[in-house]
Chains A and B, each alone.
Chain A
Amino acid sequence: MPATLARAPAAPRDYAACSGCNLCVLVCPMWRSHRDPRFTPEGLAKALQHGATAAQLAAPVEACSLCGACDPVCPEGIDLPGLVMDLRQKLANSLSPRSSPLLDDLCASLQQGVASGVASRSAPLLLPGPDLRADAALLARVQALLGLAIADDDGDDIALALELGVEIPQHRLQQFLASLRGHSIVAADGLLLRQLRRWLPGSQRMGLGAALSSRPAVRSNLLATDLYVIEARAYHGDYERMVAYYDRLQLETGCALNLDLQRIAIPAGAQGLSQKLGATPGDGDAQAKWILKGRRPARIVVESMADRAAFERVCDLPVVHLAELGEDPEMIKRRPHAFG
């Protein structure tokens, strides 16, 4: 079980500190698909150093999947995903408003907020996110394994707003954070989790993958012949702790991980904003294919639903969600919750 108390992250530096070492390029899925330095975090930082505007950088800013892989490798400590999110916000504010059903729904939800019941103070909460909510059976299994209550307000709209660069109204953000204060949190959305680290420093937070894989009922069913696919955003958002956590998991179970030689998680279902909005066709599966190259696992175990979909598209190996590895939910109900 990973230690749950996070240290406050060191203050990130901005693009001016970029030394041009290229280390972020090595891990960036945008670079992998474009082979063009403009489509890299370094390209963004250097272009900004030379006075480029958000509008001039729109293509890479929208192609970024916010996987966070560039964040832990930057020796200068630049908050690169934060840089992309900032640029997205600038773009969203400067361009004529995009209209899509997704954006319209989001704006309505952000204005409206979510009515939440009063969960008992300190009871751990699960923020399942829309993909897991859509699979009721799997959600029930996750809940049983972790013994957590599902948050009434799981911040779906806030996670989406972060991704799209849409400004989050203060009242909505405060409402969401108030519903979480004092609770331990397990979140399925890695981007939201990353942001909660800043918004609620000192709180106990964990990604869904780490929470599930730390349950003995799940962990004991991981096999040395498995390829275990870590959800990239949650991993990179808390890199120092997660690298140690998954290293132990690998040692204990012998399974292969989707880590590269720098111990960065290769994001499987990485999709840029333009792909998410359906503006450009994606080749998100290229990443899943790269993870599988030269590997012959008997089974693929995923932490996220998006990764499951990506692998199901590119191979005919069995792909299972971590929660499906757990024992009978009835038995697990008797165990304490994830933070127990």
Chain B
Amino acid sequence: MAGYYSPLTSTRTLLLKIPPVEPGTVGPCPVAPDALQGIKRQQTNPARWNGAGWQDFVAALRTSSVELAEGAAACGVYATDAGGTAYGLPHGVVLARSAGQISLLLKAAQAHRVPVTVRGGGLTTEGESVAFGGVLLDMSGMSRVLNVDAQALTVRAEAGIYWHALAEELRRENLDYLSAPLNLTSSVGGTLGVGGIDVNSARLGCSADQALSLQVVTPTGEIVECSDGENPELFQRVILGYGQFGIITEATLRVRPYTPLAMHYYYYSSLRTAIEDLQMLDRNDASDYSGILTIMDCAVNLLVAFDSDEREAAFRKNWESRLRGYGEFGFALCMAGHYALRPWKFREALYLLQRKREVFPEFRRPEYMREGKMHDRSVVFSRAVWKHWGSRQMVIPDLATSADKFIEAVERGNAVCRKYFVHYTLYCVGIKLRPDHQPHYEMSCVPPDAEGWAYGCEFEPMIEGGIYSRDHFQSFKNAIYDVGVDMGASYYRFGGMMKGYIRRVFGDALVDRHLAMKRRADPAMILNRDVIF
């Protein structure tokens, strides 16, 4: 290394020799190969597909009359997912129109070995629905309700439909879906592939468990109907299968009569106590909806809600007195006392007050309240989620564990959050498991040792206009995921940037078995290939 004169310090300083670079050219990498030794490298975007044979593939599609859009205006929409940390562009986009069209697309993709990435709502946060080259198949073009059977309480819909669009149609028949993610714009197909947790999942299970049957286009282009009774192996692999074993094009789902909710909120200053109470309610089937949302780890909100007056009355009679949380007024008094004795924590108190002022009214908007009951709770919750937690970067790592391990997982995750961010929110819910669906859960977000219920916690930092590097976010996520590996937990968000965790969590034997299945089903390994394997 040569010595260079530094005008800043006016002393001779040792600097790296960076050769001058001609404008308009890319110079050699100034970082020596051994320069980052000892520093843990973070996994980032998968490598972009090299585009071999793309033109032949495009010609084949044209012959089959499958429309493909190329160029910035068409592809730019798909550059990232809701996570906003993984970026990649497809070579071209196909807008899903029918199972037949998708079958032609997949057959051509197998023949030409072109990767196909499927996107529903694109609400993944680890880049699973981002295409790093190849074709992006946008399922939102298939988003119609095909049939509502109000007698049998089922609906058949195209799988690209957003849950909220489905709810709009169902409400015209005074029906509702069972459970769906609280964001309005995830799609049915995308959610059945990954899980789907709602504040009623402790009672009704994850969204994927409400599917009765599916129409699937396999990676080699066959159009197959599957259910627990028909082609059950395919059904098991496609449900919670992260789009590895087929593209869901239609789904028959269970539905239920629509009801407004009676909501109750209890406030805790201890996460542990709140989680114990949540699990007590779930075990005893004491409420129709339950979940925890924190403002801070010393201001924890346990939400409890009911579909009927009878269920609410039974809760009041049998369970409410066992809860150790306070009502809003009682908790405010408690907090006032707490901060009066700790005046140096006034910033924390101000934050609590500010959050309360901003967020609480959102849950009480008069146009959604009638006679003390909340209507269209998914709209109320989801709009609040987007408004108060949404941004161009959504970093939401999570842990899913058995009921026994949950408190420890949340406390350890909470400690990680504290280390990385000033403010953050934890969102915890129970997920009732269906014993008959055990095969569906293999290598999924449902932890292998969970019985009866699994529990999930999302750890969501409040970005609040702050600027963090991608590495900071990634290190945070890795620290949460490491807790999972250590505890034998599972995660809701597999894929993309964190697929390195799959083997560590499930072990080689199980992953290799699934990989062998994947190779048989998808010989050219084209379908959603960057997500899991």
Q: Do A43 and B185 form a contact, CB below 8 Å, given A20-B122, A263-B367?
A: no
Quick check: which of A45-53, A88-96, A155-163 contacts chain B, the rest being far away? A45-53
User: Is B173's CB under 8 angstroms from A294's CB?
Assistant: yes
B366 touches A (CB below 8 Å) = yes
Is A191 interfacial (CB-CB < 8 Å)?
Answer: no
Q: Which residues of A contact B140 (CB under 8 A)?
A: 25, 35, 37
Kindly state the separation between the CA atoms of A18 and B393 in the bound complex, as whole angstroms: 11
Contact status A247-B367, CB under 8 Å: yes
Residue numbers in B under 8 Å from A21 (CB-CB): 82, 183, 185, 386, 390
Q: Is B172 an interface residue (CB 8 A)?
A: yes
Say yes or no: is A217 at the interface (Cβ < 8 Å to chain B): no
Write the A267-311 contact mask toward B (1 if CB under 8 angstroms, else 0): 000000000000000000000000001110000000000000000
The interface bits of chain B over 340-374 (1 if a CB of A lies within 8 angstroms of the residue's CB, else 0) are 00000000000000000000000000111000000
Q: B325 CB to closest chain A CB, in angstroms? A: 29
Q: Is B31 an interface residue (CB 8 A)?
A: no
CB distance from B82 to the nearest CB of A (A): 7
* Minimum distance in angstroms from A54 CB to a CB of chain B: 11
B77 touching A75 by the CB < 8 A rule?
no
* A52 with B76: CB separation less than 8 A: yes
Task: Indicate whether A17 reaches chain B with its CB closer than 8 angstroms.
Answer: yes
Q: Does A260 contact B (CB under 8 A)?
A: yes
- Residues 13-60 of A at the B interface (beta carbon under 8 Å): 17-23, 25-26, 35-38, 42-43, 46-47, 49-52, 56-57
A49 CB to closest chain B CB (Å) equals 6
Q: C-beta contact mask, B80-93 vs A, less than 8 Å → 1, else 0?
A: 11101000000000
Mark out the residues of chain B between 472 and 510 whose CB falls within 8 Å of any chain A CB in the assembled complex. none
Residues on B with beta carbons closer than 8 Å to the beta carbon of A243: 367
Q: Is there contact, CB below 8 Å, between B80 and A20?
A: yes
- Please state if B79 and A26 are interface contacts (CB–CB under 8 Å): no
- Contact mask for chain B residues 186-218; partner A; CB cutoff 8 A; 1 contact, 0 none: 000000000000000000000000000000000
Residues of chain B within 8 A (CB-CB) of A52 are: 72-73, 76
Note all chain A residues with C-beta closer than 8 A to B169.
Answer: 293
Within 8 Å CB of A293, what residues of B?
Answer: 169, 172
The interface residues of chain B lying within 8 Å CB-to-CB of A38 are: 73-74, 77
Closest Cβ neighbor of B183 among chain A residues: A21
B167 at the A interface (CB under 8 A) = yes
**Docked complex Cα distance between A73 and B183 (Å):** 13
Q: Is the CB of A35 within 8 A of B165?
A: no
Is B263 part of the contact surface with A, judged by Cβ < 8 Å? Answer: no
Query: In the bound complex, what is the Cα–Cα distance between A35 and B95 (angstroms)?
Result: 9
A195, B379: Cα distance in complex, Å: 29
Tell which of A56, A244, A294, A295 touches B366, judged by Cβ atoms closer than 8 Å.
A244
Q: Is A262 an interface residue (CB 8 A)?
A: yes
Does B391 touch A at the CB level, under 8 Å? yes
Residue of A nearest to B138 (CB): A37
In the assembled complex, the Cα of A56 lies from the Cα of B75 at a distance in Å of 13
For B165-188 the 0/1 string (1 means CB < 8 A from A) is 101110111000000000111000
Chain B residues with Cβ below 8 Å from A11 are: none
A46-B185 contact in complex given A244-B367, A261-B168, A261-B379, C-beta closer than 8 Å: no
Cα distance A26–B161 in the bound complex, in angstroms? 10
Are A42 and B379 in contact, CB atoms less than 8 angstroms apart?
A: no
Q: Which residue of B lies closest to A26 (CB)?
A: B164
Question: Which of B173, B185, B376 is the one whose CB lies under 8 Å from A261?
Answer: B376
Q: Whole-angstrom distance between the alpha carbons of A17 and B140 in the complex?
A: 22
Q: Measured between C-beta atoms, what is the minimum distance from A290 to chain B in Å? A: 9
The answer to whether A50 touches B173, judged by C-beta atoms less than 8 angstroms apart, is no
Query: Within the assembled complex, what's the spacing in Å between the Cα atoms of A262 and B162?
Result: 14
Q: What CA separation (Å) do A128 and B193 show in the bound complex?
A: 53
Interchain nearest-CB distance for B139 vs A (Å): 11
Question: Cβ of B324 < 8 Å from any Cβ of A?
Answer: no
Question: Quick check: is B387 within 8 A (CB to CB) of the other chain?
Answer: yes
Which has the most chain A C-beta neighbours within 10 Å: B75, B82, B183, B367? B367
Chain B residues within 8 Å of A263, by CB:
367-368
A295 x B76 contact (CB < 8 A): no
How far is A191 from B141 in the complex, measured between Cα atoms in Å? 30
Provide the bound-state CA to CA distance between A17 and B392, in Å: 8
CB distance from B203 to the nearest CB of A (A): 22
Complex: chain A residue closest to B140, CB-CB: A37
| Bound-complex Cα distance A20 to B386 (A) | 11
- CB atoms of B383 and A262 under 8 A apart: yes
Contact A50 B366 (CB under 8 A): no
The one of B72, B138, B386 that contacts A23, using a Cβ cutoff of 8 Å: B386
Within 8 Å of chain A (Cβ to Cβ): is B115? no
A binding-site residues for B, Cβ under 8 Å: 17-23, 25-26, 35-38, 42-43, 46-47, 49-52, 56-57, 73, 75-76, 243-244, 247, 260-263, 293-295
Interface residues in chain B, defined as those with a beta carbon under 8 Å from any beta carbon in chain A:
72-77, 79-82, 84, 95, 121-122, 138, 140-144, 162, 164-165, 167-169, 171-173, 183-185, 366-368, 376, 379, 383, 386-387, 390-392, 394
Give 9 A-B contacts (CB < 8 Å), ordered by A residue.
Answer: A20-B81, A23-B383, A26-B162, A37-B140, A46-B77, A47-B77, A50-B75, A75-B390, A263-B368
Known: A20-B122, A50-B76. 13 other contacts (CB 8 A): A17-B392, A19-B84, A22-B122, A23-B184, A23-B386, A26-B165, A37-B138, A38-B74, A47-B76, A50-B75, A52-B73, A261-B379, A262-B379
Q: Top 7 closest A-B pairs, CB basis?
A: A50-B76, A294-B172, A22-B185, A52-B73, A46-B77, A75-B386, A247-B367
